[in-house]
Amino acid sequence: MIKVAITGNIGSGKSTACQVFETLGIPIFYGDQEAKNLYQDPGVILLVKQAFGEEFFDLKNQLIKSKLASLIFQDSKALQMINEIIHPRLMQRYSSWSGQYAGHSYTLLEAAVIFENGLQGYFDKIINVSAPIELRIKRIMKRDKLSRRQIENRISKQWPDEKKNKLADFIILSDNKRFMIPQVIKIHKTLIQ
């Protein structure tokens, strides 16, 4: 089985590309969602409290996501600390998950920051979903109801598409000019050969 990562910056259209792969019967590990789920894990909660303090959790011991997001998107050291807590556990979950799909020709792990966190070594192939920055900003403003300043701050923490595209094995252009489905099918055919 080929292990493939699908990545792309915030607002790139990565989720849409994953939906197309799913219709083709490809198992997908949604890394970004699984990372969010890890904040329910007692061990992770303890580590986050030790690193950042009790004030990042409400009275029900639930992470105050907006508070943590504000911190990590302003402070690169805090971002690195949270990545060191989350990413090893995420990759353990992925490893367990992928073992269930050994009979498939390939599986996908979806995550926004594969290259930024040095995770590319886990994968045989990497797909980058790329979109123009202004289109991404419009998509995020509509989807997440964030200000342009908040979005630009988050974008600044991710590598530019040009850098990711050079390192990726495949590129899907999500620019509202090219159809995504034929691009996904072409990659799929290559991966199942």
Q: What is the CATH number for 9? A: 3.40.50.300
Amino acid at 149: R
Q: What are phi and psi of 158, to 5 degrees?
A: -110, 150
Question: Could you list the residue range(s) of the whole structural domain that residue 111 is in?
Answer: 2-192
Alpha carbons 52 and 46: distance in angstroms, whole number = 10
Per-residue pLDDT tens over the stretch 131-177? 999 999 999 999 988 889 888 988 888 899 999 999 999 999 999 99
How many domains, in total, are found in the chain?
Answer: 1
Alpha carbons 77 and 182: distance in angstroms, whole number = 41
Per-residue pLDDT tens over the stretch 2-18? 999 999 999 999 999 99
The token pair that represents 36 in the structure block = 């969010």
Alpha carbons 38 and 82: distance in angstroms, whole number = 11
Alpha carbons 48 and 57: distance in angstroms, whole number = 9
Per-residue pLDDT tens over the stretch 70-127? 898 888 899 899 999 999 999 999 999 999 998 999 999 999 889 988 899 999 999 9
So what's the pLDDT on residue 146? 85
pTM of this prediction?
0.89
